[in-house]
Structure 1
Amino acid sequence: MGQRAFEKMQAVFCKNSTVYDEVTCCCRQHVEMRSLFKSCMQFRKRLLSREGSSEVKLYESLSELVDDTSCTRSANTHQHKISCLDRLCSECGVCKFSMLPGELDESDVQISWERYEYKNVKVKGDKMIRKLVLVRKSSSPAEMFQYLKKLLETFPAHQFRAYWQSKQMKSLVENLPIGHCVTVHDFSENYKCTEQNEIQSSYFQKLEVSLHVTILHRHSVLEYDGKGSTAEEPNIVTEQFFVISPDQKHDHHYTHCVQNLVSEYLKSINCEISVMHEFTDGCSSQYKSRRCMGDVSYSCSDFGYAKILRNHFETSHVRGPQDAAGGFIKKQADLAVIRGTHVIQSSRYLFDYAQSNLSTTADSSKCSRRIFRYVDSVNRDRDRNFLPVKENRKIHKVRSFDDGEIFVRKLSCYSCQSCIVGNYSTCMNDAQLGTYNKIKMVKESEHNDSDADSDNDEGVDDETNICDFVSKGTIFAVKADDTDCP
């Protein structure tokens, strides 16, 4: 049989591998947990086939394992209690995960499994860096199952936060009140300028352009969108807002500049926004550090909102329309260069091309239009350095309406009508998610001035011990005066 005849007989569900089959930006916890769970259950299946024991369960899925190591789900919310997911409940926990004697075997029997570990990797020259890599292990069954139990301590809470935060954003967009706006902020990967006929030196030294993407969800404006929106007949408009700049430092000053451009755009189309809801990832330098939270505490006076709320997605669970929007712009720019219709050699060229050719969208698109703004440089001469916020990595909701003050919560809530309209004191999920904590954001300059004016340190109320910033699982470094000391 010839090759072409053989290929014609190929099943319809079989296809050749392409670059699109690669799955990128996956969650480390989910990838590692699924791989380890599969290896453990395969080993357990072999043991059960030999021993025939009925004392333990062969789990079909991770959800089944999480359910068995947690208390019964609530009848109202169909969710586990937060205390159970955080492994703080005395009635459940990883201890309920029963294991066979063969799974506790520490003998010389070696089995293969995979996990992520930090390794020292040599890069250009003799420089060594620590990189997280997937390592194939060969160890006893006991080591593999003990590592599964270790991951099972934190995985349920991580999975719940990822699901919950995404659900809250969808609920808010579907029930968006008049005068409210939802934005999803994210930096796209820098665009690398190319040429149709590229010389060798340009190939190895490509100019990069910064691209920030914002997905806007707002009520339509009659004069601008051709259709109005009311509480009885809401009409939600979705737009893509891009900021292009040669500035490649992605920090809180850059994101503050983006917020200002979004605010100016909304004012230019007479879209009156009193409450701004922001959704971002948990990148500390861009959205979630003490400086970012300090910016949030002054956002109402900076942009003219009555209230601003910033919500953070769970780590590694931020992929969405904003990533597709940024990828579309870069792909179209590359195609224009390859076809020879445009020359894009700088950030200004990219902006001109995008604004001229990509502002309108297809009629079938869920996005009404694309808005482009160009920023030549970002103002970083701002007095926005603040004192640390305790356990800021655990915070997923920040709201502010007075300068210098924020209210924080571990998780967002837009599932109840009270939180959607702003009556936070009557939230129906307080028992599950906890209440808000008030934090006073103190600028470093003000703190230093108060210390200088004080005669002694005994009267300083905002003194903070290092132990307040250290919790279970925290990794920190200590600098010693004597370099010879271990």
Structure 2
Amino acid sequence: MLDRDADLNTFQRKKSSSSLESKASIHTFFLRDDVSRMTTGRKQTITVRKKKMQKRLLSDTLKNLHRKFGSENSDNVSYCLFCACRLFWVVAPTDADRATCQCKTHENLQFMADTLYSHGIVVSNNIEEMVDRTVCATEMKACAYGDCVECRLTTHPTLKSATEEIVQVVQWSTERTGEEERETITLKNEVQSTESDLVSKFQENLFKFRKHLFNIRWQYSAYRQLRESLQANECLIHIDFSENYSCKYHNEIQSVHFGGSHQQATLHTGVLYTTEQTPLSFCSISSSRRHDPPAIWAHLEPVLEMVKTKCPKVERLHFYSDGPATQYKQKGNFYFLSTEPFRLGFKELTWNFFEASHGKGAPDGIGGTLKRSADRIVRLGEDVPDAITLFKKLKRLESTVELFFVSEEEVEAKTEVPALTPIKGTMRMHQVISVLPGHIKYRDISCFCQRQDGPLDCACFDLKVATVNGVPVTPPNQNEETPWRPAAVDSTHIGGWCVIKYDDDVYPGIIMDVEGDSIQVKCMHRNGVNKYLWPRPREDVSWYAEEQLICLIPEPKALNKRSERPT
């Protein structure tokens, strides 16, 4: 009897030890990057029993992951035990966890890096670390912009030579649709390529990515330093348009719910920083759906009047925003920022832009908070049919967010502006300075080195001067066969013909893609005097800086099957 009890105890101990090993292997499995991914948000955490962990999101259902675990491990682990051993911070993703508004430049390069890493060609798929290995100094503008002679031609090392094996790589691409191909859509496609071609394209895009990454880091660093060193006469205003709120009723008839009867309200959100008070959140609400410069400054006018009232010492304004070409980064906004603040009594102004697709910040949280509050009002039985009702009912909540209402008439009153001159290099600039009405200065990145005891317009980083209210530069009728150069090249020009300057020579080609201040062009090669043909067997598709674009041209006329002549 004693022997049997001893054997039973031994068996139970062995079973317990095996169970602990299984649990440890399950924990390790759940923490693998191919099973769950780490979230990046500072507030995306889970706390259980005073243990706070960063949330991880599962990449598949628990049943499929259980099958995957069973195929990789000899332990016969039941589905119940597998689910019970899931770590509390590893959770299934929800709709709110869906990653939106991602950067196309980051995503496409990351897809390439993942493919090369999976084929054992590169040692890592961390694109930021890969960039840092190819420059002398990560904090130097010359290295990032390709002006440094030491690292201008540096490429990322590979572990082995690339072959001609065909590989699949996912890429976001823009395509033209419609009968006359006037509409553009963005699709996520699988593209075939050889390993050697993929390595060449990756090295080329990694070089271009240096500048993009440097601008992201520099602009956020300048933003933090400015916030920490504000003076009594300065004010920092971080602004952004929130996604329009769709007004709704608590009870809706079918034709309203499924039709187009819902009105929308524009929300322009921001945070105000001064030395005299804690950060002040604000939001202006309007029934006007315009997001252009007249609307921007109609939304900003009550905010600036509030600054004059609450902070009378403020004479210098610093704006921070993202840089969409239809809203903040365009000649209309340059005109208003060099006139409106002076009219209200301010003496100096800077407008700073975050890098393209990387302008998220505190204003986004304000918009989300207000829209959740409005949805709560509707759930409790009240109607929010239009913008003015939305404003009144949010105002009634006595929120800490300062609310303003901007009527459509106030927006339309700002639309009368003089003829404006486009500024070459608009998409490259990240700081605009105005110390004189009607005049601006601008540069590629922000600089505040002399702000404490000197002027805002220091000469750092090739500061340029421009006048915004001069003779207008407008394109001619595109039906006429006349070359012209737009003030800024954007996605509307994809599919059009242009002339690119490279190594003191010019080449006609088709614009394939536009990202920030870079243009991808498929170029033709010279074949005699003023004659060009498509190169064979390999297309000449490369990225060029915006300043290399000489002009846009009509589609050339073909002389024969292989040659074409631009007119």
Is 1:344 the counterpart of 2:403? The answer is: no
Q: 382, 386, 403: which is aligned to 1:371?
A: 403
Q: Against the structure 1 CA distance between its residues 404 and 149, is the aligned structure 2 distance closer, same or farther, given a 3 Å change threshold? A: same
Percent of aligned positions that are identical: 22
Alpha-carbon deviation of 1:134? 1.7
Is 1:130 the counterpart of 2:164? The answer is: no
Greater percentage in helix = 1
Distance (Å, rounded) in 2 between the aligned partners of 1:115 and 1:146 = 16
* SS state at 1:394 partner: coil
Match of 1:153 in 2: 207
Structure 1, 5-14 or 206-215: larger mean CA deviation: 5-14
Matches within 5 A, 1:3-18: 8=84, 10-18=86-94
Alpha-carbon deviation of 1:27? 1.2
Distance (Å, rounded) in 2 between the aligned partners of 1:120 and 1:21 = 30
Is 1:64 the counterpart of 2:64? The answer is: no
Alpha-carbon deviation of 1:110? 1.9
Amino acid at match of 1:360: S
Distance (Å, rounded) in 2 between the aligned partners of 1:258 and 1:185 = 10
Alpha-carbon deviation of 1:86? 1.4
Distance (Å, rounded) in 2 between the aligned partners of 1:190 and 1:259 = 17
Q: 97, 108, 112: which is aligned to 1:32?
A: 108
Alpha-carbon deviation of 1:60? 5.7
Alpha-carbon deviation of 1:120? 3.7
Alpha-carbon deviation of 1:30? 1.3
Match of 2:119 in 1: 43
CA contact (8 A) 1:172 1:420 kept: no
Q: Against the structure 1 CA distance between its residues 480 and 64, is the aligned structure 2 distance closer, same or farther, given a 3 Å change threshold? A: closer
Q: 430, 438, 459: which is aligned to 2:465?
A: 438
> What are the superposed Cα offsets for residues 434-462 of structure 1, whole Å, 9 maximum, x if unpaired?
142221223347x99xxxxxxxxxxxxxx
Match of 2:170 in 1: 114
Match of 1:282 in 2: 323
Alpha-carbon deviation of 1:26? 1.3
Q: Against the structure 1 CA distance between its residues 191 and 84, is the aligned structure 2 distance closer, same or farther, given a 3 Å change threshold? A: same
Is 1:195 the counterpart of 2:270? The answer is: no
TM-score, normalised with respect to structure 2: 0.67
Distance (Å, rounded) in 1 between the aligned partners of 2:268 and 2:418 = 21
Match of 1:401 in 2: 435
Structure 1, 247-256 or 195-204: larger mean CA deviation: 195-204
Q: 435, 444, 457: which is aligned to 1:410?
A: 444
CA contact (8 A) 2:424 2:487 kept: yes
CA contact (8 A) 1:111 1:139 kept: yes
Matches within 5 A, 1:234-273: 236-269=277-310, 271-273=312-314
* SS state at 1:284 partner: coil
Alpha-carbon deviation of 1:466? 4.2
Alpha-carbon deviation of 1:425? 6.7
Structure 1, 295-304 or 324-333: larger mean CA deviation: 295-304
After superposing on structure 2, the runs of 4+ consecutive aligned residues of structure 1 that deviate more than 6 Å are: 1-6, 125-128, 467-471
CA contact (8 A) 1:291 1:384 kept: no
CA contact (8 A) 2:323 2:355 kept: yes
Q: 84, 92, 98: which is aligned to 2:143?
A: 84
Matches within 5 A, 1:159-178: 159-178=213-232
CA contact (8 A) 1:241 1:371 kept: yes
TM-score, normalised with respect to structure 1: 0.77
Amino acid at match of 2:369: F
Q: Number of aligned residue pairs: give it.
A: 416
Distance (Å, rounded) in 2 between the aligned partners of 1:343 and 1:158 = 45
Structure 1, 194-203 or 58-67: larger mean CA deviation: 58-67
CA contact (8 A) 2:222 2:447 kept: yes
Match of 1:456 in 2: none
Distance (Å, rounded) in 1 between the aligned partners of 2:189 and 2:153 = 25
Amino acid at match of 1:263: L
Alpha-carbon deviation of 1:390? 1.2
Alpha-carbon deviation of 1:10? 3.9
Q: Against the structure 1 CA distance between its residues 375 and 219, is the aligned structure 2 distance closer, same or farther, given a 3 Å change threshold? A: farther
Greater percentage in strand = 2
Amino acid at match of 1:65: M
* SS state at 1:159 partner: helix
Q: Against the structure 1 CA distance between its residues 372 and 70, is the aligned structure 2 distance closer, same or farther, given a 3 Å change threshold? A: same
Amino acid at match of 1:209: A
Distance (Å, rounded) in 2 between the aligned partners of 1:386 and 1:201 = 45
Distance (Å, rounded) in 2 between the aligned partners of 1:381 and 1:11 = 57
Amino acid at match of 1:31: E
Alpha-carbon deviation of 1:101? 6.3
CA contact (8 A) 1:208 1:246 kept: yes
Match of 1:311 in 2: 352
CA contact (8 A) 2:232 2:313 kept: no
Match of 1:453 in 2: none
Q: Against the structure 1 CA distance between its residues 133 and 304, is the aligned structure 2 distance closer, same or farther, given a 3 Å change threshold? A: same
Stretches of structure 1 that go unaligned for 5 or more consecutive residues are: 46-56, 74-78, 221-235, 362-368, 449-464
Is 1:182 the counterpart of 2:236? The answer is: yes
RMSD: 3.2
Distance (Å, rounded) in 2 between the aligned partners of 1:387 and 1:117 = 32
CA contact (8 A) 1:351 1:374 kept: no
* SS state at 1:24 partner: coil
Distance (Å, rounded) in 2 between the aligned partners of 1:209 and 1:152 = 41
Q: Which has the higher Rg, Structure 1 or Structure 2?
A: 2
Match of 1:20 in 2: 96
Amino acid at match of 1:217: Y
> What are the superposed Cα offsets for residues 419-445 of structure 1, whole Å, 9 maximum, x if unpaired?
344445767xx3xxx142221223347
> What are the superposed Cα offsets for residues 135-181 of structure 1, whole Å, 9 maximum, x if unpaired?
11232112221221121121111111111111111111111100111
Distance (Å, rounded) in 1 between the aligned partners of 2:240 and 2:251 = 32
